[in-house]
Structure 1
Amino acid sequence: MTSITASSLQQIPLSYASCSIGCGASDTLPRRLEAIGKAGFTAIELSFPDILDYAGQLNGYEVPPDDYEELAKVTRQIYADCKANGVTVMMLQPFANFEGWPKDSRERKEAFERANGWMKIMEAAGTDMLQVGSTDSPAGKISTDRAQIVSDLRELGSMLAKNNFRLAYENWCWSTHAPSWKDVWEIVRDVDMPNVGLCLDTFQTAGSEWADPTCSSGLIENASAGTVQQRFARSMEELAQTVPAEKIYLLQISDAYKVSPPLENKDVKGLRPRAQWSHDYRPMPYDGGYLPIMDVAKAVLKTGFRGWFSMEIFDAGPQGKGKKYEMEPFAKKAMENMQKLLKECVTES
């Protein structure tokens, strides 16, 4: 495993997800880009819903999500806005529910049509990376057969490769078939393509095997803190020892609130409990969360990875009911806390 030196962390590029700042209609995408750029981040993860919202603002009407020509036109304007604020588009996200559909199904056909459309948007954004979240459609609708999942992602990887694009595969901790870092790593390993790698995430990693928002303790299986920590430490050691640095494309950074009272163990508005948790209860580091995000960051850095660290937070307050703030101070604080996280990851001066 690689030691983590202060000098090596100075080269890490820092990004911010466009969808994870702002708390009202007046916080438009151009204003968000301005706040992100002023805080010193050099890139954004561009969120597809942000493109749709901005398209509506520019055109004065709601643009359909499959009108890729118009959305690409809007994205070219976003590219110009990014350039004016000193940031680039590091990745387009979140491409969801792609893999696992039955071979001749309408859903599979639509998934590939969507992939082709999003590639037009990637070109307009000037990015080479597409984030793909592990499918959370219910078992029974999708196949959880690992061979089919690998085959589907290999086919998508081949499509992307024609444009020199990359696929960053992320475990969502509520995913039907791949909720953990190890699940997505084994899939990426078996896909075995040079342009298919991992999008790792401090929240998703700790949220899948350390924490549980439906338990009163906040810990998975309501187990003792010692037991949970021992298992998690072994998992992080395995990550550090087994995942090649070049197969990690980025690490997303966020924490989570311990929900009190716990979330009910049932779907709400189509969202599983961990998806609800992800949607509203994710503060930036050092701002009220309780996950062992430092352990995740250190494990990833011990692989030798020194690529993108990207702030992706969804902070609606400890009760998930909303949080008001000014964007520029908020983005500045996010940068300060990101730098603090990096400093605390150092194992060698």
Structure 2
Amino acid sequence: MSNDFSSLRFGVATASLGMNPIHDISKKFEALQKAGFKYVEVGFGAYMEWVRSELPNLPPSTCPPEWSEADEPDPSDDAIWKALYAKAEDFKKLVAKYGMTCLVLQPLNQFDGWPEGSKRAEWVRRKAEKWLPLCSKLGVEQLQVGSNDYAEANAPDEKTAEDMHWLAELGAKQNPPVKIAYESWCFSKRVSDWEHTWKIVQLGNHPNLGLCIDTAHPPLAPAYGWDPTTGKGWTDKQYASFLEPRRSPR
């Protein structure tokens, strides 16, 4: 049996093309175009940076510093969110100028697993209610959500699955709808391997929720013998046990 990959859409994440400020988003799009790519995954921070370059008088984010990710605004920062929404069409035109389509916005960080009733649990849902309309306005098909790597996000799997179900329902209500892709981060304190992520996706039980396997993370998960905090691990036996079931998946 031969494998047919003709229907797969291959792209590159802007975050994979360097994080130095001299590599602005247009240079990254130009490089992808020259390499023949038609699809791109855009980081929220890259979009935020581009909007600020277009609108330099935007106010700073009021997001609590310890909760901030990539200069994202607080849910209450109406002026910034209004600008992010308003510039979405111009950004889509910029992507199209380089012959590409933006498939994914990433990552909605530190969303899942906060204890029921905590301030952070309430805050991240308000944040998501700003993110999902932005995804829809940008025309992206998927929002990538990495497993929470904060130690305080220690709710049981059932609560995490409830969070992801809620997010998937919110994505489904957008026009056009936005799929939720849940991925494991190897440095997560609680959900660090893809099998655990898949369990939560199944518990979440929503047609708009699916699994994302970020190939940079599964091999470095502690469950397979690696310590991403030290960069050490893996005996030959552990390495072989990691590879074997992936050579002949069922």
TM-score by length of 1: 0.61
In terms of mean alpha carbon deviation, does 14-23 or 184-193 score higher? 14-23
The SS at the match of 1:153 is: helix
Residue 127 (structure 2) aligned to one of 81, 105, 114: 114
Change (3 A) 1:235 1:135: farther
Deviations 1:207-252 (A, max 9, x none): 1125445668x433xx3x1x113321345368x32xxxxxxxxxxx
Deviation at 1:24, TM superposition (A): 3.5
- Asked if residue 148 in structure 1 is aligned to residue 133 in structure 2, the reply is no
User: Are 1:133 and 1:169, in contact at CA under 8 Å, matched by a contact in 2?
Assistant: yes
Partner of 1:104: 117
Letter of the 2:208 counterpart: N
Greater RCO, 1 or 2 (C-alpha within 8 Å, sep 6+): 1
Partner of 1:231: 241
Q: Please show how residues 222-301 of structure 1 align to structure 2 within 5 Å.
A: 223=235, 225=236, 227-236=237-246, 240-241=249-250
Partner of 2:40: 44
Residue 74 (structure 1) aligned to one of 87, 91, 102: 87
The SS at the match of 2:129 is: helix
User: Are 1:91 and 1:128, in contact at CA under 8 Å, matched by a contact in 2?
Assistant: yes
Residue 93 (structure 1) aligned to one of 101, 106, 109: 106
| Cα distance in structure 1, aligned partners of 2:162 and 2:233 | 35
| Cα distance in structure 2, aligned partners of 1:35 and 1:158 | 36
Question: How high is the sequence identity, in percent, across the aligned residues?
Answer: 24
Deviation at 1:109, TM superposition (A): 1.6
User: Are 1:99 and 1:152, in contact at CA under 8 Å, matched by a contact in 2?
Assistant: yes
| Cα distance in structure 2, aligned partners of 1:11 and 1:236 | 22
Partner of 2:76: none
The SS at the match of 2:82 is: helix
| Cα distance in structure 2, aligned partners of 1:128 and 1:39 | 23
User: Are 2:161 and 2:204, in contact at CA under 8 Å, matched by a contact in 1?
Assistant: yes
Partner of 1:13: 9
Letter of the 2:146 counterpart: G
| Cα distance in structure 2, aligned partners of 1:237 and 1:160 | 34
| Cα distance in structure 1, aligned partners of 2:21 and 2:185 | 28
Change (3 A) 1:39 1:94: same
TM-score by length of 2: 0.84
- Asked if residue 59 in structure 1 is aligned to residue 55 in structure 2, the reply is yes
User: Are 2:115 and 2:155, in contact at CA under 8 Å, matched by a contact in 1?
Assistant: no
Letter of the 2:56 counterpart: G
- Asked if residue 187 in structure 1 is aligned to residue 180 in structure 2, the reply is no
Residue 28 (structure 2) aligned to one of 29, 32, 50: 32
**Structure 2 unmatched ranges of 5 or more:** 62-71, 74-79
Equivalenced residues, count: 229
| Cα distance in structure 1, aligned partners of 2:21 and 2:193 | 34
